[in-house]
Structure 1
Amino acid sequence: MNELKQLMPVSALKEDAKVAFYKKTYTHLAMAVLLFVVVEWIFFQIPAVVNFAFSLTEGWLWLVMLGGFMFATNYAERMAMKTKDKNKHYLGLLLYVVAEAFIFIPLIGIAMSISESQSGDSSGLLTQAGIMTLALFTGLSAIVLLTKKDFSFLRSILTVGFFIALGLILAGVLFGFNLGLWFSVGMVILAAGSILYQTSNMVHNYEEDQYVAASLGLFASLMLLFWYILSIFMRD
């Protein structure tokens, strides 16, 4: 009976068990966001780390940074999904948050510089983008949680979309052209679809003990949305 219970998706649980799972997932998501802010702050207190991150944005080195981030993402997801060891779940989430914080250094550094020059407040653009991101994330999550609609059909669309986006990023780096505003808009739409998909996964496909993995998936989509909303705000 215990094995059957472990294999049960959240959608098959009683209402109180579902609510408990959702609370755990979103609590861990909030903790991941807070940890991201703390780690980012620590990184910016270490000039060597900031300089190293910025140095990786030059030419083909950005591809190395992107490749390292994708490797860390894949490894963290496997740790959170394919083991029953809770310690590895948390280690996977921690690894992913640190990787996100590192790859965000150049974008946040440039955003702070632009904001400082425009209004004298280095956090202005970050605050605006953060509010917009949380508003969109909350609205998209509510759609899934209230309607209980299964958005698993988005998986193939998102896969194709991300491969196209990766190809455009590679081409942009190799041939030296700017992807422009419309690429960022397209990525915001892709990130929105990812949020719908990940929230639907949380509701329909995860098991009761996989709340850390569920929070990691939601965090990844949230940060992707924040990246491109911030990129759009920086163009204004």
Structure 2
Amino acid sequence: MNPSVQISHAAAEERAEFYKKTYMHVALAILAFMLVESLLLKYIPEELIMKMLGGRFIWLGILGLFWLGSVVSEKWTLSQDRNVQYAGLSFYVILESIIFLPLIYIASRYAGIEIIQQAGLITVALFAGLTAVVFMTNTDFSFLRTAIVVGGFIALGLIVVGAIFGFNLGLWFSVGMVVLASATILYQTSKLKDTYSTDQYVGASLLLFSSIMLLFWYVLRILMSRRS
């Protein structure tokens, strides 16, 4: 495979191989997330997890580090060095695991492991359906970019304000974030065909993985709100 070929200009075999490697890496990232999350739940003291839940400014600090780490990870995954690409994806999986730790802890303790499994199945089904829409209709979803960027900044602002003043953003915010995450998956899947070259499957998998995790977060929150 010629590593410099852009997907839109690649042969059918090269495109198929790129998609295969991209989605294989997404699956491996999800499995790695599950493994790291289980280890964190096993070895991180409950008191520390509760501090993450209760401390507003600690949580804002974690979010800030997560944003910085995600930027660094994305740059690493698009490096020409394959080892650096994998380091970026691995680093991002660890960051996601840390961010998810309080939510998974609360969900498993007060709602049961079944609700996490349900959220995972719903997330996978939504992701598969959205991916099928892009590939079966061959629609260009690049027009969603502006709405995603604006929606992302609004959501980030609401999250920061909510963390500072300690109020719950509620069910409808979670529903809106599911819509935003779904739009992002449509956009990023469509972008695969036009932006990446055949050797950038690690970077492509990181972007898809990040959107899947965002979708999973708010699907789980919606299910938990129905149990409360």
Instruction: Give yes or no for TM over 0.5.
Output: yes
**SS of match in other structure, 1:60:** helix
CA 1:53–1:34 in structure 2 vs 1: closer, same or farther (change >3 Å)? same
For residue 102 of structure 2, the aligned residue among 101, 106, 112 is 106
Q: What is the TM-score when the length of structure 2 is the normalising length?
A: 0.95
CA distance in 2, matches of 1:59, 1:92: 28
CA distance in 1, matches of 2:3, 2:177: 36
Residue 107 of structure 1 aligns to which amino acid in structure 2? L
For residue 173 of structure 1, the aligned residue among 163, 172, 184 is 163
**Aligned length, in residue pairs:** 225
User: What's 1:206 paired with?
Assistant: 196
CA distance in 1, matches of 2:110, 2:51: 19
**SS of match in other structure, 2:142:** coil
Contact 1:53/1:103 (<8 A) preserved: no
User: What's 1:195 paired with?
Assistant: 185
* Superposed displacement of residue 97, structure 1: 0.3
Contact 2:77/2:86 (<8 A) preserved: yes
Residue 69 of structure 2 aligns to which amino acid in structure 1? A
Task: Write out per-residue CA displacement over residues 117-148 of structure 1, whole angstroms, 9 at most, x where no aligned residue.
Answer: xxxxx311001101100000000011111222
Verify: 1:91 aligned to 2:87, yes or no.
Answer: yes
Deviates further, 39-48 or 176-185: 39-48
Task: Write out per-residue CA displacement over residues 65-91 of structure 1, whole angstroms, 9 at most, x where no aligned residue.
Answer: 11011111111001012x200000000
- Gaps in structure 1 of 5+ consecutive residues: 116-121
For residue 38 of structure 1, the aligned residue among 31, 35, 42 is 35
CA distance in 2, matches of 1:47, 1:8: 45
Contact 1:10/1:206 (<8 A) preserved: yes
User: What's 1:19 paired with?
Assistant: 16
Residue 90 of structure 1 aligns to which amino acid in structure 2? Y
Contact 1:152/1:201 (<8 A) preserved: yes
For residue 206 of structure 2, the aligned residue among 213, 216, 229 is 216
* Superposed displacement of residue 7, structure 1: 4.2
Greater relative CO, 1 or 2 (CA 8 Å, sep 6+): 2
* Superposed displacement of residue 47, structure 1: 3.0
- Gaps in structure 2 of 5+ consecutive residues: none
User: What's 1:123 paired with?
Assistant: 113
Verify: 1:184 aligned to 2:174, yes or no.
Answer: yes
For residue 60 of structure 2, the aligned residue among 59, 63, 73 is 63
**SS of match in other structure, 1:45:** helix
For residue 163 of structure 1, the aligned residue among 136, 142, 153 is 153
CA distance in 2, matches of 1:213, 1:234: 32
Contact 2:5/2:198 (<8 A) preserved: yes
* Superposed displacement of residue 53, structure 1: 3.9
Verify: 1:151 aligned to 2:141, yes or no.
Answer: yes
* Superposed displacement of residue 101, structure 1: 0.6
Q: How high is the sequence identity, in percent, across the aligned residues? A: 47
CA distance in 2, matches of 1:52, 1:211: 36
Q: What is the TM-score when the length of structure 1 is the normalising length?
A: 0.91
CA distance in 2, matches of 1:185, 1:21: 32
What is the Cα-based RMSD across aligned positions, in Å?
1.4
Residue 129 of structure 1 aligns to which amino acid in structure 2? A
CA distance in 2, matches of 1:55, 1:151: 41
